[in-house]
Amino acid sequence: MKSIQRTEELYDYVVAHGSPPDDLLERLAAETLELGGISRMQIDAEQGAFLTWLTRALGVRHAIEIGTFTGYSSICIARGLAAGGTLLCLDVSDEWTQVARRYWAEAGLEKTIELRIAPALDSIRALPREEQYELAFIDADKTGYAVYLEEIHPRLRAGGVVLVDNVLWNGAVVDPDADDPDTEAIRAFNDSAARDERFDTMMLGRFDGLSLLRKR
């Protein structure tokens, strides 16, 4: 096993030696932090840079995000889209996404990003059942992960990538005493994804665990 313990100083070094967040993302992160404990739902700067990099590297034009919160990840994905690209964001909270809308407008992304406020499963099932996305980011209720992937699959183009966040769940997936519904759901999802022959799957041990599934 080859790994390194990530300290706060090392994290700052990593962020500074990639493409660091600009002023807009820093202000969004700071505003989200003021919300208190719920702010933990926001991805960090390192993961945001990875989303932009991967979206751009894959040449993504059309992406979908399940779980938007205050908009940090959506901005990172949208900034990586090819010219004329679009991002569809699905969330149930009008309150938190109002923050996202303000920052989308400031970033000049209001015409790139479409937001639908409704249960994500209903929104996905309302989409045409045809291949239309090159990238999907799932970061919503953990008990819904399996069904979200199932509904995304027919709408994902061959070679398209699904990113699934929080698949290590702060280490709870390997804690025998953790038996809450979210942990059990993530374990079941991880086991199923690893066996799913429709995808080439890998799990990154970075962030809070990020699985990448490439549609065959």
SS (H, E, C) 39-102: HHHCCCHHHHHHHHHHHHHCCCCEEEEECCCCCHHHHHHHHHCCCCCEEEEEECCHHHHHHHHH
Q: Residue holding tokens 């979200």? A: 148
Q: Which domains does the chain possess?
A: 8-215 (3.40.50.150)
* pTM (global) more than 0.75: yes
Q: Residue holding tokens 């059942």? A: 129
* Residue 65 pLDDT: 98
Distance CA 202, CA 199 (A): 10
Here the tokens at position 80 are 């990586």
Distance CA 168, CA 183 (A): 9
* Residue 2 pLDDT: 67
* Residue 206 pLDDT: 83
Main-chain phi, psi angles of 22, to 5 degrees: -80, -175
Are the C-beta atoms of residues 136 and 66 closer than 8 Å to each other? yes
What are the start-end ranges of the H helices in the chain? 8-16, 23-33, 45-57, 72-80, 94-106, 120-125, 145-152, 181-195
* Residue 204 pLDDT: 93
Here the tokens at position 42 are 């926001």
Which residues in the chain show pLDDT less than 50? Answer: none
Q: Residue 208 burial (CB < 10 Å; 0-12/13-18/19+)? A: middle
* Residue 20 pLDDT: 86
pLDDT one-digit tens code per residue, 159-185: 999 999 999 999 999 999 999 999 999
Q: Residue holding tokens 């209001």? A: 110
